[in-house]
Structure 1
Amino acid sequence: MTPARRWVVWIALLLGLGGLVVFEQRKPQLAAIVDAVPTRSVQAPSAESNRDASPGAQVIFAIRPRSAPGDVDDAFPVRNWNPPPPPQRAASVPVPAPSAPPLPYTVFGKKLEDGQWQVFLRRENRILIVKSSDTIDDAYRIDEIRPPIMALTYLPLQQKQTLAIGGAE
């Protein structure tokens, strides 16, 4: 914004404010306090006016029956400020005994050498050659190899497992 334009904006604002001040002072001031208009009061009919009226015009109100004690709300109910008890647990299922994980090895092949079977096992990128009484990864011991199965023991739990290795051909 150029300085000349800025001066024009300031002058316009000052003239506008000056006009507001001048015109607001010319408005009539409402300083007079005006009383509220009195309202007409309606009076209830008195008992004497009811007596003077005809007997058929009298209003008789029906008597309400008393309510049963259970219907009345208690004025001073008992409040329990203690926290609610913890929820009851259902009968818990007994935790099953730990078991050996599934065998992480797959059979890659087998061969009979010097009367003893050797089995080629694969786990991820490793190939292992095992025979009876070998220990694998400090977790499994080869108990016996008799095609078509190989018996292993999971050492941490002493659980027996078997692995199918194929026939003796």
Structure 2
Amino acid sequence: MRKIVIGAAAVATLLAAWFAPDQDGGVVGPAAATTRETTPAPVATAIATPPADATSTAAATTPVPAADNVDLQIHPRVADDEMGNVFAKQSWAPETPKKIMMDQAQAQQAAQQASPPSGPPTLPFQFMGRFTDEGKTAYFLQVDGQNVVARPGEKVNDSYLLDSVSGNTMNFVYLPLNQKQTLVVGDAN
């Protein structure tokens, strides 16, 4: 029953639209464009007005500037910095500690590159442990994610020499500047 009522309403609407009389009895024609020889005016939209007499079938329109009067000059774009990045990733989530640490590391690298080094860089070593076999002690270090075994008097990498070990301190020599640096390693077991 419901479908029949909806179908009948749709048919009645279509019939009413088909047989409905025009409001003014006239037919609206296409918009006509006129040209001006003066300065370019802003583009106006064509608005149909009712005809002066009921027998006329053409509608009067407002003048629209011709295409040759339109300003088609190319203007330079504003700098992207002023516009902002529309496609940038947007998030309400707080920055993660990893992101904060990466930003700080980038800032430190930029500061190191900007200022000339006044002394040796900080030691890149992390003490992992030691092993003593037949009176000879080997020290396990981690450098840039790699494990290294070092003994006193040996080069650890191209820039450092393990000079000596006394108690819980390791003494390194930074070879490019020939300066000594100390790494505290803790108690011997």
Q: TM-score range by the shorter chain?
A: 0.3 to 0.5
TM-score by length of 2: 0.39
Structure whose CA Rg is larger: 1
